[in-house]
């Protein structure tokens, strides 16, 4: 059973998780977690990193790469509320992520989804 973001990242990114984990030590971030109500197992998470660059970053993962409806909603709302472009490192082979990214205005380039355009509803 996976109980922490660190455990999920190690499971999700075997042999290449260290740089991702280092981001949690280096940058200010906020986490949202999706947990099984009965077992407490971590099913997915979204971490938003506030960077001192022209963009911010999100790290997100889900058990078996299957994002829950709640996780998609939080991701959508986060992308809509942002004030800077965002990049999300992701699995380019996951078709569901391609479709979700496209619906939310993102574009894949290699293993990263870029959300450059700010959400326009209610903004001048």
CA gap 38, 116 in Å, rounded: 38
pTM of the model: 0.84
**What is the reported pLDDT for 122?**
41
Vertex 105 angle, CA 46 and 96, to 5°: 60
Query: HSE-up of 97 (CA within 13 Å, CB side)?
Result: 21
List the pLDDT tens digit at each of the 124 positions of the chain: 899 999 999 998 888 889 999 999 999 999 999 999 999 999 999 999 999 988 899 998 899 888 899 999 998 898 888 888 888 877 677 777 778 888 888 888 887 888 886 554 444 3
Question: What CATH code is assigned to 5-115?
Answer: 3.40.630.30
Sequence-separated (6 or more) residues with CB below 8 Å from residue 110: 92
Cα–Cα distance for residue pair 23/38, rounded to 1 Å: 30
| Residue 54: per-residue pLDDT | 87
Beta bridge partners of 73: none
Domain boundaries, the chain: 5-115
Structure tokens at 24: 């949690």
Residue 56: predicted pLDDT: 93
């Amino acid at each position: 059973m996976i109980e922490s973001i660190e455990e999920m990242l190690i499971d999700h990114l075997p042999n290449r998780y260290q740089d991702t984990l280092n981001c949690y030590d280096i940058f200010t971030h906020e986490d949202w977690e999706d947990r099984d109500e009965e077992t407490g197992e971590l099913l997915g998470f979204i971490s938003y990193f506030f960077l001192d660059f022209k963009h911010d970053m999100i790290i997100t993962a889900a058990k078996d790469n299957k994002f829950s409806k709640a996780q998609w909603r939080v991701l959508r709302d986060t992308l809509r509320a942002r004030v800077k472009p965002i990049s999300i490192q992701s699995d380019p082979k996951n078709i569901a992520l391609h479709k979700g990214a496209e619906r939310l205005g993102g574009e894949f380039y290699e293993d990263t989804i870029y959300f450059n355009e700010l959400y326009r509803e209610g903004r001048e």
